[in-house]
Each structure stands twice: as structure tokens, then as C-alpha cells.
Chains A and B, each alone.
Chain A
Amino acid sequence: MEVKLKVLRYDPESGKEPEYRRYTVDMPESATVLDSLIEVREFHDGTLSLRCSCRSAICGSCAMRINGRARLACKTQVSSVAEDGEEIVVEPAGNMPTIKDLVVDMAPFWDKIRAVKPWLQPSGPPPEREYLAPPQAMIELAEVMNCIMCGACVSDCTVLEVDKSFLAPAALAKAWRFVHDPRDGNTAARLRELSEPSGIWDCTRCNFCVQVCPKDVKPMDQIMKLRAEATAIGITNNAGSRHTFAFTSTVKEGGRLNEFQMLPRTHGLLNIAANLAELPGGIRMIRAGKMPSPFTHKIPGAAHVKRIFKRFEHAKV
């Protein structure tokens, strides 16, 4: 099978701009993108740099962008991304500086992992023997424990693209792993830190991390669990938590969202400066005929919606 690759080549030390180079290699039908890149490096162009180790989707070394999306090259079969011999575009993982070609500097990735203190912090006197955790608690953490730290989620995170300070999906998913571990005694402090700017409330819920994760860790889902947990233990003095409360309570009252009330309730009614700053935007909306009604419009079944809230709001099924 003829495999056509278009690989982004870049050596910052050379002073030259990044450029795409094309390679065509002959590979078996079952070949992966990684197999093809190794073929290039070994037999066509020894200057190509890439990172790989296990070739079995376990070590997490070979995350890179393949046709615009972060994937493990070793887990990506050529036939799954290039039907009928189409060219495959291979680029380094995003949101991290390139060291050379397909090798990125993962220092910012590890800094964020370290920032969430990814180790157990038990409280109280140590037990006589090992710390025990019930199996059920571990089952609930199975998704996050599958993380192989490949950085695919970080590569394609849309928040990180505009804000390098965001803790980003991998570190936040790792944080949930410790927040939810029954052996950890520092849950509240962890959640308070995670609720600060650049933390859990800065995620846009774009689902890119869920989409690209090769291990089905569902980082965004873990971030949502952190939000729920932080709110549940009363860490609510932040815009994100107020936004969730405002949204939820307007639906609880009328059955549908009251958009008008979202801004003042998220900023806080007494936050006059922030609310005044929204005025020009509001006037623009009024002029365009887009200003939602300030009054709660109740759907006919609003009472039934209220009943649903009463039954399930604090239930775990």
C-alpha cells in the first residue's frame, strides 16, 4: 500500500520557518501512521524527529496531530485516516512549543500536572497497616486512572489556545482522581484551589478533550464532576458557580431559561461595576430586537418541572 505523508518539519535552531515535506512510502495494509513515519525516518529521511516507544498505545509518547486532530500515531491505522490513498497531514501536538519536527516540549504539561498535587494527602494519624479504599470508589475512578499522560487532550484544548494559564484537561482530570479518592484528606482545599481562575470554571465544555482522548478518560466529564463537587461543599463564591445556580434556578422557576437574569445573577446583584459594564452590550441587543424579556415566562407544565427538581436535585441514582 502506498502511503502519502505530508509532515510539518521545523527546527527552531535552524532559524528557518516551519515547512511541510511530502513523503511516499510503501507499507503493508495494516500499517499505522507511526509505522509509516518510522519507515520515513529509517529509510528516506534520517533528519525527521519524532517521539515513540511502546507502539502499543500504552506509553503515550507518540501523540501528534494527524489530519488536524490529536491522536496516538501508533493507534491510528493509515486506512482509518486516508481512504483511497489520500495524503495524511502530520503535525506536532498543539498548545506546546516544538522542540523539533514532531517532538514537543511537554514541560508546561508536567508543570500543570504538578500544580494539582497529584499525590494522596491523607489526614489524621496513619493507620497501622496500609490505607484502604473500597472497590466501588476505585471503580468510579477507573476512567481517570486510564490516563497515559500523552497530552492529546492538551494539544486540542480550545481554552489553552487562548489562555496558557488554564490548567487544562489532563491536570484537571488528574485532580478529580485525588478529590474523589476516599483516602485523601485534603478534598476541600483541593476544590478551593481548583475553583480559582484558570481552573475548573474556565473550561468551555467544547468536548474536544473527550473526542481526542485515546483512552476514553473523558477529561471534560471529570471537570464537570469537580464543578458539582465544589458547589456541593459550598465553594460558590465565584462566577462559574453563580452562573450554574442562576441558570438552574431560572429553569426551576419557569421551566425555561430566563436569559435576562443570567448576567446580573452571575456577577452578583450588588456588583454594580460589573453590571454597569454590561450596559452597552445590552443597549446593542435592544437596538437589534434581541433583548430577552426580564420577566419569567412559565411554561404550562412549570409545576411539573419544579417537581422534577424537588425529586432529583439532590438524588444520586
Chain B
Amino acid sequence: MKYAFWPGCVSKGACPELYTSMVRTSAALGIELVELYDGNCTGAGVISEHSMETADALNARNFALAQRLGLPLINICSTCQGVQSMAQQRLKKNAKLAAEINQTLSDEGLYYDAQKGLEVKNFLWVLVEDFGLDRLKSMIKRPLHGISAGPFYGCYILRPESILGFDEFPERDTYLEQVIEAVGCKLITYEGQDKCCGFPILTINKKNSLTMAANHLSEAQKEGADFLVTPCPLCHLNLDAQQPDAAKYATVDGLQVPILHLPQLIGLALGIDPKELRVDRHVVSTNKVLSKLTATPVHA
């Protein structure tokens, strides 16, 4: 299995542990990643607030880089997934726009065939649809029994369904639950698991942003989650890095919910050393989860 790898800006910035764990976990799974070192920001739905055409052109450039490699694209960010899916749809519909963008891209020898399109999949979708959870289960060396985990999806990997391939893959809103159970965790579900983490308005309306995070984290803690797992580094930032500030809006005492990146969870189940997965690079300590881990036997 081989993919053009779009790591996103955040795994190269505020969440370097996501990048490291993705590279390490993919190698263990036998997934080959050809990184798009020259790829640009997708715009994260922000540049499109300023200029939709620019955002579409930026995404077309990434798609063209992947098409040149002849590989499907893998991302590790719910926001990138949503933005890329939406851009693909617009480029396919608007032939005039695609042609004008291609004219600009041709200066660096790039061309995006919008009609042919490109398979763009978050690591979560790749795991379930391309890799297969049975195959994953057969590779598990450290089943995470006795640990309770809750999902946190991130908006853009769930909505709107019409552009996210739910017609073909209607269970995409249950994949995190399936993965959590596949690695041996006890599944915890709670109301806010598919809602907004609040990150997009963190710098605009901090109180609202932190209240959203606090509500979801409080619910998850009440339900008994030892940690949450997310395929979105932006959700990770609001739920993890902002958690000490969100605590003042929490509806539980002593808010303390570690947030793992999806590749970290898979890596742990594959028996990879937690240090290699940089599980210590979080604001909310993962020590409690790790102490439960070491109590779980590692099968050779």
C-alpha cells in the first residue's frame, strides 16, 4: 500500500508528535508514505473566507502533485479532509475554474485532472476501508484491554455527508468506534463526540470555544473515558492544549482527559514504544493511560 502523504501544517507545527507517530505507525503497518514536501496549506476553510478561488487553486496544486506521483492522497487531519473533498467537488463542477487554475499551475509543470479526480483519504478511512480492521487485529501485539476510550471525530470528516463519500461508505461516522474496539479498548460514547471542538473560534470567541471543549471533555470523563482519540490535530489542540483553561467551564471536578492522535493509538496497539510515538508530547499527561498499558502483556 502506497500513498502520497499530505501531513498538513499542524503536524509540522504545533503537533509534531502526530507526524512522528504517523510515520512510525505506517511503517509498522507496511503502509508506504511518499511525502508531499512541496505541498501547500489547504486553507483549512479560512482562506476560502477570503477568496474561494485561491483556496481551490491551492488545493488543486496539492492534488496535481499527488496525481503526478500516480498515488492516492492520504491526510491526517479531519479539516484537511473536509476542505480537500469540498475543493475536489467544486473543481469537478466548475470546468472554467479548473482550466484557469491549470493554466497557472502549468508554470511549474503541474496539471490537475479534475474530471479524473483523485482518491483523498484520511488515515482513519484508509485504516478501515483500504487496510481492513481484521488485518489490523491480526497485527496487534499489545491489545489495549482494560482501557476505556471515546471517539472525537472533528466536524469536517463528518459533515456535510453529501461531499464526504457517505453514499459509498455510509458507516464513515462509526469508524472511530470500530477502531477503538478493534484495538481492544472498551468503547465509551457520549453526546459531543461528533460536535465541534471549538478550535476555529479560539482566537475570536475564547469563552465559547473553551466551553465547547469543556462540555465534550466533561461528558467523556463522566462516562468513564480514560482518553479520547481523534483523527484531527486541530481538535487535539483545543481538547488537549487548551484543556487547563477549559477546565473552568467544565461540569466535572478535576478535568483530566488525555487526547491521543489516531496513529498514536494504533501504534500503541502494535506494540511500539510509547516514547517513539511521542505520547509524552501532550499538555494533558498520558501517564495514567500508559500505566494501564504496561500492565497489559505485550505478545511477541
Using known A-B contacts A248-B47, A315-B53, determine if residue A256 contacts B40 with beta carbons closer than 8 Å.
Answer: yes
Can you list the 4 inter-chain pairs with the closest CB atoms, starting with the nearest? A292-B13, A207-B159, A206-B196, A257-B9
Question: Chain B residues with Cβ under 8 A from A300's Cβ?
Answer: 37-38
Contact of B208 with A159 in the complex, beta carbons under 8 Å: yes
Given A224-B48, A239-B204, A304-B108, A313 contacting B160 (CB threshold 8 A): no
Asked if B200 is an interface residue, CB under 8 A from chain A, the answer is yes
Interface residue ranges, A against B (CB under 8 Å)? 158-159, 161-163, 166, 197, 201-208, 210-211, 224, 227-228, 231, 239-240, 243-245, 247-248, 251, 255-260, 262-263, 266-267, 281, 284-285, 287-293, 297, 299-301, 304-305, 307-309, 311-317
Contacts of B82 in A (CB 8 A): 207
Chain A residues with CB under 8 Å of B155's CB are 204-208
| Contact residues in B for A224 (Cβ distance below 8 Å) | 48-49
**CB atoms of B204 and A207 under 8 A apart:** no
- Flag whether B17 is at the interface (Cβ < 8 A): yes
Q: What does DSSP make chain B's interface, helix, strand, loop or mixed?
A: helix
**Does B188 belong to the interface (CB within 8 Å)?**
no
CB pair A313–B41 under 8 Å, yes or no, is: no
Question: Which residue of B204, B215, B283 contacts A284 across the interface (Cβ within 8 Å)?
Answer: B283
The residue from A210, A259, A291, A299 contacting B40, defined by CB atoms under 8 A apart? A299
Cβ of B97 under 8 Å from chain A = yes
User: Taking the complex as formed, is B245 at the interface, i.e. its CB lies under 8 A from any CB of chain A?
Assistant: yes
Q: Is the CB of B203 within 8 A of A266?
A: yes
Which one, B108, B204, B281, B282, contacts A243 given CB within 8 A? B204
The answer to whether the Cβ of B115 comes within 8 Å of any Cβ in the partner chain is no
Is B40 within 8 A of A255, CB to CB? yes
Map CB proximity to A onto B159-185 as digits: 1 under 8 Å, 0 otherwise.
111000000000000000000000000
Which of chain A's residues have a CB closer than 8 A to the CB of B101?
312
Closest B residue by C-beta to A198: B205
B198 at the binding interface (Cβ < 8 Å): yes
Q: Give the chain A neighbours of B207 by CB distance below 8 A.
A: 163
Q: How far is the CB of B227 from chain A (nearest CB, A)?
A: 15
Interface residues in chain B, defined as those with a beta carbon under 8 Å from any beta carbon in chain A: 9-10, 12-17, 37-41, 43-54, 56-58, 61, 82, 94, 96-97, 100-101, 104-105, 107-108, 155-156, 158-161, 195-196, 198, 200-201, 203-205, 207-209, 211-212, 215, 241-242, 244-245, 278, 280-283
Q: Given that A207-B160, A210-B159, A251-B41 are contacting pairs, would A244 and B242 also be in contact in the complex, using a CB cutoff of 8 Å?
A: no
Complex CA gap A290/B101 in Å reads 35
Given contacts A304-B61, A317-B53, whether A251 and B40 have CB atoms under 8 Å apart is yes
User: Which residues of A lie under 8 Å from residue B46 when comparing CB positions?
Assistant: 243-244, 247-248
Q: Looking across the interface, which residue of chain A has its beta carbon closest to that of B45?
A: A205
Taken together as a complex, chains A and B put the C-alpha atoms of A111 and B112 apart, in Å, by 47
Q: Check A288/B50 contact, CB under 8 A, given A202-B205, A305-B40.
A: no
Residues from chain A with a CB closer than 8 A to the CB of B242 are 281
Inter-subunit contact B108/A204 (CB<8 Å): no
Given the contacts A284-B283, A304-B61, A312-B53, A256 and B17 also touching, CB distance less than 8 Å: no
Instruction: Using A163-B207, A231-B50 as known contacts, list a sample of 13 further A-B pairs with CB atoms less than 8 Å apart, ordered by residue number in A.
Output: A158-B212, A204-B208, A208-B159, A247-B46, A263-B203, A266-B203, A285-B241, A288-B282, A293-B13, A304-B61, A309-B54, A311-B57, A314-B51
